[in-house]
Amino acid sequence: MQNLRRKTLAAASAVSLGVGLAVTGGLAPAASAAGPDTTYLVLAPQGATTDKAAARVAAAAGTVVATYDRIGVLVVRSTNPSFTTAVAGAGVESVASTAGLGSALDEGETVEVSAAQAVAATADPTAEPLFGQQWDMPMIDVPQAHAVNAGSPDVLVGVLDSGISSTHPDLATQIARDKSTSCLGGVTDTTEAAWNPTTSDHGTHVAGTIAAAVNGVGVTGVAPGVKVAAVKVVNDDGYIFPEAAVCGFMWAAEHGMQLTNNSYYIDPWQLNCRNDARQRPVWQAVQRAIRYSQSKGVLHVVSAGNSNWDLAHKITDTGSPNNTDEPEVRENLTNSCLVLPAEVPGVVTVSAVGPTGDKSYYSSYGQGVIDVTAPGGDTRFRTQGVRSTLTDGILSTTFNTATRTDGWGYKQGTSMAGPHAAGVAALALSAHPGMTPGQLGSFLERTAEAKACPTGVYNPVPLIPTGPNAYDATCSGGKRNGFYGAGMVNAYNVVR
């Protein structure tokens, strides 16, 4: 049994898509009440329309700001303090307030670097000025892959994150502008300014790992021939909410994306328990959205998390909900309690490794949970945890939100591992179009390079200031195991 130590996952997410809904029905409107303007997820029974639920929302003094008829989910706002009770009834399966459920985006430690002078553009990723600092690309055989297939523009990867800088010289040609949007405030805004970054460059860094152009400037992406779509889903305060995740999956499903990259979990509960009435609507809504998007041909690549948790064993959670000064103690949580969306069936869950190819000290793991692994950086292994060597992070595209300038810099996290796997998946679709999400996920695993478990207790950072055993971890399994899943993703293996 493991006790969860609170560490925030480097995160990205989505915000609800605002779609108006005409409300009809014979229920009498609830008396107006002065209360905080609160957001709710209201779920109709599976397979039913949302008409009855919408009528009950109106009667309970709520306003529908987004409707997802195909999955029976409404995003609602109301100032009625009794809304949860008032909306219950025929046509409503469950309802949950999302107040306080925001998960802060963890930017991690970022160091910017200056790009060298541009060189003549070639088809060789190793000719990019900063390629020599991209230790992650040779680790997964990107140069060999590009000699065969560097990606097809018919493949579109949704970057559900904080926006992508449309002026970045490594990304300006890579963005599908007609598929990009901001979902902030519950209403889509497809203007270019809206889906550009404002307070975070996390999405710009992720996008560069997936698809930075081979253009003689800066770095290369894993799949520079494919396109990325900016789906700005992190608000200016750096938060994701449950309704945000639902919107992100649905936007991808309805806008031609074959892949998405997701690096977040849904707070305030570190694990969402399907048998807890407070959390079940969140689980149901996210699962419905993922299942629907999978049916529309979307594979979701998800980061495992940066908390060094063993997700396969019973856990005692002492740090939730994290939006209160009085968290509860929830002991012996079973498999009914899961990290969302990393443990939703059908997603590809990715752990992180550093320059040695060994599990990054922070990366969460778990037999039967981790599908594959990829470079995410490990800035402390050289000093056993004493201090950081930031060049052992992942170098990619950045955007300085203070100076509003484009650049390149290092970040680390499973948020950086996920886009490597997404890029490899994009190359696989480019070389072998037509695969379903299930086939593509299986192909990623079959072509991965297996990695064996280390023996005994693994901890590359025993001297870290938080304590000698703060990052102890034990790997279980054989050729497929809890640290690395089926193994390291490999770009060359998926295109040859």
Q: Kindly provide the residue ranges of all beta strands, DSSP E only, lying in 99-235, ordered along the sequence.
A: 103-104, 111-113, 156-161, 181-182, 227-232
Please tell me which residue in 94, 162, 415, 430 is annotated as part of the active site.
415
Quick one: angle between helices 414-431 and 202-211, nearest 10? Answer: 30
Buried b (16+ CB within 10 A) or exposed e, 421-452: bbbbbbbbbbbeeebebeebbebbbebbbebe
SS (H, E, C) 227-241: EEEEEECCCCCCEEC
Closest Cα to residue 223, out of 297, 153, 134? Answer: 153
Q: Is 415 assigned a catalytic role?
A: yes
Which has the closest alpha carbon to 413: 477, 474, 350, 468?
Answer: 350
CA distance 291 to 296: 9
What span, in angstroms and rounded, lies between the C-alpha atoms of 187 and 194? 11
Of 204, 206, 210, which is closest to residue 226 (Cα–Cα)? 210
Tell which residue, 107, 148, 301, has the closest CA to residue 210.
Answer: 301
φ, ψ for residue 66, nearest 5 deg: -155, 140
**Burial of residue 135, with CB atoms counted within 10 A of its CB: 0-12 exposed, 13-18 middle, 19 or more buried:** middle
Q: Are β-strands 103-104 and 227-232 bridged in parallel, bridged antiparallel, or unpaired?
A: unpaired
Query: Quick one: tokens of 161?
Result: 């994150």
Distance CA 490, CA 373 (A): 10
**Alpha-carbon gap, residue 17 to 246, rounded angstroms:** 9
Nearest to 347, CA basis, from 226, 240, 479, 245: 245
Residues in the chain: 496
CA distance 238 to 253: 24
One-letter identity of residue 196: N
Catalytic residue among 146, 168, 202, 300: 202
Catalytic-residue membership of 202 = yes
CA torsion through residues 191, 158, 493, 129, sign:
positive
Distance, in Å, from the CA atom of 108 to the CA atom of 164, rounded to the nearest integer, reads 18
* Catalytic residue flag (residue 201): no
Of residues 161, 170, 310, 358, which has the active-site annotation? 161
Catalytic positions: 161, 202, 415
